[in-house]
Structure 1
Amino acid sequence: MAAGGGRSLEETPTWAVAVVCFVLVALSIIIECVIHLIEKWLTKRNRRALCEALEKIKSELMLLGFMSLLLTIGQGPISEICISKSLGNTWHPCNKKQEHSRHDIDADKEASGHRRLLAFPESSYGQRRVLAAAGYDKCAAKGKVPFVSSDGIHQLHIFIFVLAVFHVLYCITTYALGTAKMRMWKAWEMETRTSEYQFAQDPERFRFARDTSFGRRHLSFWSHSTILLWTVSFFRQFVRSVPKVDYLTLRYGFIIAHLAPQNQANFDFQQYIKRSLEEDFKVVVGISPLIWLFAVLFLLFNTHGWQSYLWLPFIPLIIILLVGTKLQVIITKMGLRIQERGEVVQGTPLVQPADDLFWFNRPRVLLYLIHFVLFQNAFQLALFVWSWYEYGFQSCFHENTKDVAIGISMG
């Protein structure tokens, strides 16, 4: 690092040090004030779940700061750990040809600086600079290589920060899209207050379950076959994931199951779903230890020869398609249970959600899968931005344009 012009603080003007410190302190204060204003605004609007999500974001920033401190303190000791060259030449993200090509380019860029340092060995620091410019380190003297070099630790530090930023941005974007999606449900909720809706849902009306709007959508010949059920549900998620008939039926089932009759008329199901989204956002915005473990595994699999660019970006796509299909299957199975209770229904079909309709009898498994998908997508884009920033577009991380297109489009 000294070869890149590493002057110590005793050789640096004090005004330059003061300017850097002032800028860092100013930016920190501004960020803290912005977070405080957002917190006050959320508290004023009684958005408790979003306030807790903001607290999680603040704790993640604190964790990143602590990780940054540990990386800075441990940079010297870690870089002085030596391993054999045979072990150090395994599991590289680039092949040998690409590594040698990049080393040649870096050597050409540093050649002029190398000669300048050799030309001024008179000062008390000249000898150390000559050694640094010549690439001297303790591991090289032993015929070994560093476990992780100082430059590598610095780049890892940047990647962790970029990954956390992209994860938070992904979660915020998902929440914004979810909120926009639910705006159309507001009109459906207002429709439940009209006399036309009350007449259509008259509890004194007797109908066949298959003749109701919900029955015509879900109770057909294909709903009794597992293969056809999953096939139809798979394609339905691309058309309209939450149609009006499903919303109104699920709303009615929820109200009957959870509210007393005197409170049913004025209940706003759309606002309840909105608050539920905020509660879920509080979960997915955090980066749990298990998620950090996945990040480590993703870095491990980003190895030349594993062709991770061909399968890693498709994991979140497959998971999210499975989740969307499963949700459609659950709604249809609730309709089948209505028919199992009797061919004739009174008023609106009464759906009864149950945990046994979900994988492992745990509805929150779907939420954890969505959390994983958000993080994996953030990882793909963070890796692209980080590698572009560190190595440029022409690097082994972007060996083929189609690989970059796959990673970004899947994200």
Structure 2
Amino acid sequence: MAGGGGGPDRELDQTPTWAVAGVCFTIIVISIALEKIIHLVGHWFQRRKKAGLLEALEIVKAELMVLGFISLILTFAQQHIAQLCIPVSYANTMLPCPYHKSEDHSGGGGKGGGGGGGHRRLLWYEQERRILAAGSMGAGCSKGKVPLISINGLHQLHIFIFFLAVFHVVYGAITMTLGRLKIREWKKWEREAVNDQDFNDPTKFRLTHETSFVRDHTKSWTKTKFTFYFVSFFRQFFRSVRRADFLTMRHGFVSVHLAPGSKFDFQKYIKRSLEDDFKVVVGISPLLWTTMTLFLLLNVHGWEAMFVLSMLPLVIILAVGTKLQGIITQMAIEIQERHAVVQGIPLVQVTDKHFWFSWPELVLYLIHFVLFQNAFEITYFFWIWVKTTKPKCLL
């Protein structure tokens, strides 16, 4: 490209051998180091018998392989893609930023320009025009046609896809860490459930409305659907899992799956369940790749696609939190309706009918979608500010 001041680009046979060898050596060392780190982490998971995290690591390795294929395809096909030409009229449709013609900025003052109001816009337009002109000449397009995507545009897309996958994995790992920290807070409740014999006394009879679990979730606001979901919505922000909730859920699980009096570490079971769920949310499914391409298609100036996309994860995660709070309350109501007196801790019965469409896995898939969309928005935000000449029009 013009303006570099260093002469034409050199081919490989005109490049110093120390430069070629140094770059190759650095890339190889980084790649081998990454492979060894992943291998060691896998062995550590295997020794600790963390099957869920080991499978999640395999999914991460598969995602790295997909990224490798994407990188190879973009690298070898960029020249051919840039040689595909389309009419200018098509190239000026569905633009992320408004298109500016040269006569709109010439200002009647010749090349020197007029006032300073349009100076910044003129510089941006000149830079964009040079890039497009360079791409057109490189592709050999005829008059009235431009490349489908310039080489510079393919390079930016390449970087965007790479960082999207990296941010998604990192974002999922952070969520996993926060979940484990939350579970750690329940350790004292687990010790209480195992060691406090008076608390677990099966001979103790109580009225259902006297138990902490039923009393906390069967107030007057559960009488109507509106107040039921309204209170459930706000409850997710204030200690979503309480002591009575944890102990009751634990008792229900142990009563169904284990013999009475069994010593069972329910908190450890929750940790393993969290690890099993992590292998679902860490990967990027074909559906999620499709949502990314759909947004890139609809990211047209004036359509406010970015605003809708930024609101969608928030709405989904608040709906999921409200639903989970509603499920806990619904189980408390069912206990009160079934029994007037309970023996020991109330026995909850969790069924698929409590979830949307009787499909519990849907909640996990929605969380997976939210994690991906959040990673997409973070990547997109930093990408447009670093790699584009006019970022504000893309927000």
TM-score, normalised on structure 2?
0.89
- Runs (5+) with no aligned partner, structure 2: 106-119
C-alpha distance in structure 2 between counterparts of 1:353 and 1:133, whole Å? 64
C-alpha distance in structure 2 between counterparts of 1:319 and 1:370, whole Å? 8
Residue in 2 that maps onto 1:104: 123
C-alpha distance in structure 2 between counterparts of 1:85 and 1:56, whole Å? 42
- Runs (5+) with no aligned partner, structure 1: 115-131, 404-411
User: 2:316 aligns to what SS in structure 1?
Assistant: helix
User: 2:206 aligns to what SS in structure 1?
Assistant: strand
Residue in 2 that maps onto 1:206: 205
Q: Deviations over 1:105-161 (max 9, x none)?
A: 4746999xx9xxxxxxxxxxxxxxxxx969624454242111111111111111000
Q: Deviations over 1:335-368 (max 9, x none)?
A: 1111121222121110000000000101000000
Q: Following TM superposition, by how much is the alpha carbon of 1:231 offset from its aligned partner in structure 2, in angstroms?
A: 0.5
Residue in 2 that maps onto 1:339: 336
Say if 2:6 is the partner of 1:12.
Answer: no
Residue in 1 that maps onto 2:278: 281
8 Å Cα contact 2:206/2:343 also seen in 1: yes
Stretch moving more, 198-207 or 94-103 = 94-103
8 Å Cα contact 2:100/2:125 also seen in 1: no
User: 1:192 aligns to what SS in structure 2?
Assistant: helix
User: 2:350 aligns to what SS in structure 1?
Assistant: coil
Residue in 2 that maps onto 1:386: 383
Q: Following TM superposition, by how much is the alpha carbon of 1:102 offset from its aligned partner in structure 2, in angstroms?
A: 6.3
Summarize the alignment of residues 165-204 of structure 1 with structure 2, pairs less than 5 Å apart.
165-195=166-196, 198-204=197-203
Stretch moving more, 335-344 or 354-363 = 335-344
8 Å Cα contact 2:214/2:335 also seen in 1: no
8 Å Cα contact 1:2/1:133 also seen in 2: no
Summarize the alignment of residues 258-407 of structure 1 with structure 2, pairs less than 5 Å apart.
258-261=257-260, 264-391=261-388, 395=390, 397-399=391-393
Q: CA RMSD in A?
A: 2.4
C-alpha distance in structure 1 between counterparts of 2:172 and 2:63, whole Å? 13
C-alpha distance in structure 2 between counterparts of 1:218 and 1:138, whole Å? 68
User: 2:137 aligns to what SS in structure 1?
Assistant: coil
Q: Deviations over 1:31-86 (max 9, x none)?
A: 11111111111111111111111111011001100111111111111111111111
Equivalent pairs, count = 375
User: 1:345 aligns to what SS in structure 2?
Assistant: strand
8 Å Cα contact 1:208/1:345 also seen in 2: yes
8 Å Cα contact 2:135/2:151 also seen in 1: no
Residue in 1 that maps onto 2:55: 52
Stretch moving more, 54-63 or 206-215 = 206-215
8 Å Cα contact 2:136/2:147 also seen in 1: no
Summarize the alignment of residues 39-78 of structure 1 with structure 2, pairs less than 5 Å apart.
39-78=42-81
C-alpha distance in structure 1 between counterparts of 2:128 and 2:315, whole Å? 44
8 Å Cα contact 1:3/1:133 also seen in 2: no
Q: Following TM superposition, by how much is the alpha carbon of 1:98 offset from its aligned partner in structure 2, in angstroms?
A: 10
8 Å Cα contact 2:301/2:393 also seen in 1: no
Question: What percent identity do the matched residue pairs reach?
Answer: 52
More helix by share: 1
